[in-house]
Amino acid sequence: MRRLTIYSAALMAMLSMACGGGSSDNENNDIEAVDSVEIVEPEYLFGIDITPYEVKTDTIHQGETLGGILGRHGISASKVDQLSRKADSIFPLRQIRFDQEYTIFKRTIEDSTGTRDVLDYFVYHKSKTDYVTFAFLGDSVDVVLNEVPIHIERKCARAEITSSLWGSIMEHNMPYALASEFEDIFKWSVDFFGIQEGDKFSVIYDEKFAEDESVGIGRIYGASFTSGNKTIYAIPYVNENGKISYWDYDGTSLKRQMLKAPLKYSRISSKFTHRRLHPVHRVYRPHLGVDYAAPMGTPVHSVADGTVIFAGWGGGGGNTIKIKHSGGLQTGYLHLKSFAKGIKVGSRVSQGQLIGYVGSTGTSTGPHLDYRIWQNGTPIDPLKVTQQPQEPIAKKYRADFELVRDRVIAELEGAAPEDDYITEDDIFRRPKADTTKSK
């Protein structure tokens, strides 16, 4: 708590006189000491002044109910029922989960029955950024949804990979969510299963904080990935569709017809080959796909838009999905544990859509995905598929894009002054202005 000291009016008057505010025949007399009054500024927690309260934080254990917890702190069953009805349209009590924390605010009162503790507030920690306040003041109850104040810090992080993207992000104390966002941006352009020690990346992002705790990330303002002598940039810019996309240095879209891989956070356990020792049959056979070892139940996504042409039992391939795409391409997903809801023959799927889960069905020694691609009926190596990029930046936006690009790269390289950092206005404003002019 912050403490302020305020002197008495008598002392103030004496000081005033000493500074010429009055006169005295005894100007040289010593001023007697005057007691000071200490004023304590309130300290707030979840917007509640904690001065009169005993505050305790605990965790909801499995099998506990809110009614049971409140009952232990003196809230009657009738008040709990009143609270339940009040909360139904704001935050239904059935949404409370075990392992979540809560904080209680109790004060001591004296009445005709003696001294006792009274619970005024129960705060449920819904998430790192949201909480629910249940108030019991007098005969009334109240329920309020609240948000923890968030402040945002601009960050630019650079790292060299020693094991994996995920591992390097943890080693450098970056937000874990950055790994997923980074993969989403580069999923068409970078083979994250082929990352090597010494590869580098940099990224500019907003990090969100609730007080001093990191609670996630916001906008990604730019990124780069370097492998060997090749660097791929991700420059954010809005084109004619009004949505933000990421573009390479020359204005080429990072998006492609197909994703580099149909799943995240796994490793390649077997590559495409015409002669592999089969792990079960112990004979040499062609393996015309790529095996991704991954935990049971890992989500599997369609690598491109298409139509499901097979979804069922594929013999040694176990639960199998095959999807037909444009350009004579077909993809296969083998050994699945199960299919996603709605996946059946004839279903239309979009790029990145969930289609199933990693399993070990059919002839398999452990959970993995056998991923295959055919071009006009001929098996091809999924790791060597060549793809044409989508349309580049429109000519009428080219000069503006290059201005944004140069400022992003300068910041990625640590050469940009803070007053020249790219903002959301820079990314979104110019295309709209250009579009208006072209009408």
Identify the CATH number of the domain defined by range 267-384: 2.70.70.10
What confidence tens digit (pLDDT) does each residue in 415-438 have? Answer: 888 888 888 888 876 555 444 444
Q: What is the pLDDT of residue 142?
A: 94
Q: What is d(CA 368, CA 104) in angstroms, rounded to the nearest whole number?
A: 47
What confidence tens digit (pLDDT) does each residue in 269-289 have? Answer: 788 776 666 666 566 678 888
How much is the pTM?
0.69
Least confidently predicted of 95-104, 136-145, 235-244: 235-244
Per-residue pLDDT for 261 more than 70?
Answer: yes
Which whole number is the average pLDDT over 254-261? 87
What confidence tens digit (pLDDT) does each residue in 335-363 have? Answer: 999 999 999 999 999 999 999 999 999 98
CB within 8 Å of 389: residues ≥ 6 apart: 252, 253, 255, 256
CA torsion sign for 148, 210, 179, 253 is positive
Q: What is d(CA 122, CA 182) in angstroms, rounded to the nearest whole number?
A: 39
CA end-to-end span of the chain, whole Å? 60
Identify the CATH number of the domain defined by range 152-256+392-439: 3.10.450.350
How much of the chain exceeds pLDDT 70, in percent?
A: 84
Q: What is the pLDDT of residue 20?
A: 47
Q: Give CA separation, 279 vs 193, 270, 276, 364, in Å.
A: 22, 11, 9, 8
Identify the CATH number of the domain defined by range 46-147: 3.10.450.350
Q: What is the pLDDT of residue 68?
A: 93
Q: How confident is the model at residue 123 (pLDDT cuts 50, 70, 90)?
A: very high
Least confidently predicted of 163-177, 213-227, 250-264, 275-289: 275-289
Domains 46-147 and 152-256+392-439 belong to one CATH topology: yes
Least confidently predicted of 2-6, 67-71, 322-326, 364-368: 2-6
Please report, for the chain, the start and end positions of each structural domain, with discontinuous segments joined by +.
3-40, 46-147, 152-256+392-439, 267-384
Which whole number is the average pLDDT over 98-121? 90
DSSP assignment of 263-308:
-SS-EEEE--EEEEE-TTT-SEEEE-SEEEE--TT-EEE-SSSEEE
